[in-house]
Each structure stands twice: as C-alpha cells, then as structure tokens.
Amino acid sequence: MRVADDVVCPFCGCLCDDLRVTIDDNDVITRVDNACALGKTKMLHRMDDRLLVPEVRRDGKLERTTLEEAIDTAAQLLAESRRPLIYGLSSTENDAHRAVYRLAEMIGAVVDNTSSVCHGPSILGRQESGEPLASLGEVRNRAQLVIYWGANPLQAHPRHVRRFVRIPGEYIRDPRTERRMWVVDVRRSATARIADRFIKVEPGSDLEVIEALRALIKGRTLDVSEVGGVPIDELAEAAEELRSVEYGVLFYGLGLTQSRGRYRNIDAAIRLVRDLNRFGKWGMMPMRGHYNVTGANETSTWTTGFPFAVDYSRGYPRYQPGEYTAVDMLRHGEADLLLNIAADPAAHFPRDTVRRMRDIPIINIDPKRNLTSLMATVNIPAAMAGVECDGAASRMDELPLYLRKLVDPPEGVLPDRDIVRLIIERIEGAVDER
C-alpha cells in the first residue's frame, strides 16, 4: 500500500492540491481524502465506463482493433480531410496540447478548445477591455467582499467557498465578520442560500444591472424604480457598499458568459471592476470548469498567439471566434472531419450541431466511453492525465501545477500526447513514402 500526499486533483479549475490518495498493492486507488465528491469519484471510479481497446467503425458498427490500426485509420482520415477540425483539450495536460498544435499546423486544421462554449465570451471581453485578474491566495488573505455572479460554486466547484472564502487568511482573521460573500443569480442557488447578500436578477438582464451599478457607483441617480428585477434602492445600497470596500473580488460563471449579452456582459463586468479600482483594490476571476481549460488557452496563446478558435489552413494561425469555433465549424457544415480529444462534444453541443457530427468521420481520443465515442469512427483510449500519466495544468487564476502519475494506465493505453505523436509520425511517414 502507498499513500501520496499533496496530490493535484484533475477535475475542476480549482486544482486543489491537498489530496491524499491511498493506493493498494494492485495499483487500485482505494481511498481519496480531502477531495470533494467530484474529485473523489473521478479517482475512485477511474475504471468505470473506460475505453480500453481501440475501435474502428466498419459497416456502421464499432469493432475492436489494434492501436496500430486505429492510428493508421486516424492518420488516413486526417490526411484525406480537406477541412479538419480538432476540438477539446481542456481535460488533458499541456504537453498533449503542444502535440496537437503541431498536428494541426502540419495538416492545416482548425483547432479549438472547450472555452468556445464556456468562457470564450470572457476572453472576448478581455480583448475589448483587458482584465484586472485576482489570485486565489490573495482572495483568502485579503478579500473583504467576494461576489459570485452567475456562478454556483457549491455545486460546480464544491471546495471553492471553503478553501478561499469562508476561511481565515493572513489579513482576514475571522471570515464571518471581516469578509462578506454576495451572490448575484437568476435563482436562489445553493450558494445564494449561504451568502450574506443575494441579488436576484431577471434572466437575461445582467448587462442592465451591471451598467446600473456602474452609474450608481459614479454617483449618478437613475430615474427608475427597478433594473433587471432589482429594486433601485437595493442596487443603490449595494453600490454604496461596493464603493466602501478596500479589497474586493468578483468571481463570474457561465450565468454571465452564456446568457443574453454574452461577451458584452463580461466587458461590462470588467469595466465595473475597473471603475471600482478608483475606490478600492478590486480583481476578478472566471470560474473555469474543466481542470485545464485555462492551460488550453495558455498553450494555444503562446504557440499561435490566440487563445482558441485558430485556423491553420493557410500555414499560419488565424483567429476568428464565430467562424473557427467548433460549434460554428460544424453547424455551417464546414468541417469534414472531427478529431475530438479530452472533451465530449456530443454531450454538450447544441442538438443541430450534434446532428451535423453524424455526417462526418470522428476520431475520438478519451479515457472514457462517452456520447462522442458512440458516434465515433475511430476510438482511441487514452490515459487519464494527473492519475495515470503526468503533465502540467493551470488553475483558474493561471497558476501552473504539476500533475503526478499515481498509477499505471490500463494495459496498452497511452497518454494523449503519445497518441497524437504516433498520428503525426504516421502522417509524416506517409508523406515520406510518397
């Protein structure tokens, strides 16, 4: 039996790194301490629903095959494709991303990560206005007011409140009296129920509420009785409190990025936080979901200059969200092949987009059997990064952390990066033979 301490949890953007993992003599994870239910389940049930053997579809049916044949088929499909789309990346480590960009450049593919359907609008907002980014350590040490806007961490990031907010920090000795927590949401979520203040906005009216707060903070009066379902007196009181805070942080989730207004909401939120910096010290942070979606943006940015939605078809990177984003590439019938790696688009994309996926070959690389694997032309099982192979990932505040290998992957199953390198080698080999 072995015990590994300070293990980084490869589930959500919190990347909690205080897990204690117990592994028995048969390389089975028997116990996970300190993790939330989500992280615990990922580790303890790593062998559930696994893809263990490569599969290739023949006559409409998925048949088991060798890794070599799966790689051959994948390489051939990619070589034949005229407009390949590579998508995913957010649930794997950075070296896998780097291999993927090399492949994308080589074959002239479009490469996009899952932020195009989660915090893509946050990135567009940042490209409009910049962004004052907070750090999780300083939230704990200094924040007197923490706002969750359109986010429900108690369910999506279960340890977020406990690790960073409702806990003493160096300059916040008693978080109950010295730190307040607000929630802004369209319904009274689990997180809202434990908040010190809950502001309930009507669905789709976040932008109006933010702009009203900006006006009130600047001392303007608004000649209305309510904005977005919030009484003006309540907003005025909130604005007054915001102005008096010495150190504040705004966490924002998909409730803000994916509701009406989208990147305009984020742009406005950034400007709100920027305005507040005239009164106190304010920062903000997106509540990133997949554990390494932040890393996917970073690796894409240093390699291509752009955080997502990159097209290599001209031999150099181009960027166009709305055009080279995966949903748009599929919905427009533009992509003639999908290479999916470390994501499950069939489960998360809009229905008409998923319908389009049926018309094109799909190469699917993932540890698990998921909805995309059921539609795939080729399935290649992958090792689970941070459990079965090492690598690096980025926390939601852009802190890089090293993910350790705890146990061996199932027999014959390789890390994502090695699978992609084999595909690259196979395509390069085919070019040389010609």
Partner 1 sequence: MTQEILLKNCTVYDPMNRIEGEVTDICVRDGKIVESVSTDAQVIDVRRRAVLPGGVDIHSHIIGSKINSARSMCPEDHRRAVVPKTPTTRSGVGEAVPSSFVIGQLYTAMGYTTVVDPAVPPMKALACWEEIPDVPVIDILMLPLFSNNMITYHYIEGQDMEGLRGYIDWLLRATGGFGVKVVNPGGTYAWAHNLNAEHLDQTIPEWDLTPNQILTSLVRAVEELRLPHPVHLHPNNLGRVGNIETTIAQLEAVRRARRTSKRKHILHLTHISFDSIASVDEGSTRWEDVASGGLELAEYTNQHDHFTVDLGQITFGPAMTMTADGPFQYLLHRVSHTKWMNITVDVELPGGAGVVPYSYSPKSLANSVQWMIALEYALNIDDPWRCVITTDSPNAGPFVRYPLVISWLMSRRERETWLETLNSRSLSRSTLSGAEREWSLYEIAIATRAAPARILGIDERKGHLGAGADADIAVLDHMPSDSSLSDHPEEIVRVFHSTYLTMKAGTVVHRNDVVNPSGVRRRVFSVQPTLPEATRKRIHNEVGQLIDRWYVHSHTNYPVPRRYRQALESPIPLRPAT
Site of interaction with partner 1 (CB under 8 A): 5-6, 8, 15, 17-18, 94-95, 98, 102, 105, 123, 126-138, 140-142, 163-164, 170-171, 246-247, 274, 277, 280-281, 283, 297-299, 301-307, 312, 314-319, 390, 392, 394-395, 397-402
Q: What is the rounded distance in angstroms from the CA atom of residue 131 to the CA atom of residue 285?
A: 9
Residues forming a β-bridge with 143: none
Least distance from partner 1 to the Cβ atom of residue 365, Å:
21
Least distance from partner 1 to the Cβ atom of residue 194, Å:
20
Least distance from partner 1 to the Cβ atom of residue 372, Å:
27
Other CB atoms within a 10 A radius of the CB of residue 343 amount to 28
Q: Please give the torsion angle defined by the CA atoms of residues 368, 97, 76 and 378, in that order, rounded to the nearest 10 degrees.
A: 10
* Residue 230 or 272 having the CB closest to partner 1: 272
Least distance from partner 1 to the Cβ atom of residue 290, Å:
17
Q: How far is CA 370 from each of CA 131, 189, 342, rounded to the nearest angstrom?
A: 36, 28, 11
Q: What is the rounded distance in angstroms from the CA atom of residue 134 to the CA atom of residue 136?
A: 7
* Residue 280 or 410 having the CB closest to partner 1: 280
DSSP of 304-330: HSSSS-EE-TTSS-EE-TTTSSHHHHH
* Residue 58 or 218 having the CB closest to partner 1: 218
* Residue 31 or 102 having the CB closest to partner 1: 102
* Residue 117 or 273 having the CB closest to partner 1: 273
Least distance from partner 1 to the Cβ atom of residue 12, Å:
15
* Residue 76 or 301 having the CB closest to partner 1: 301
Q: What is the rounded distance in angstroms from the CA atom of residue 52 to the CA atom of residue 142?
A: 47
Phi-psi region of 177 (alpha: psi -120 to 50; beta: other; left: phi over 0): alpha
Least distance from partner 1 to the Cβ atom of residue 11, Å:
16
Q: Which of 29, 50, 88 is nearest to 404 (CA)?
A: 29
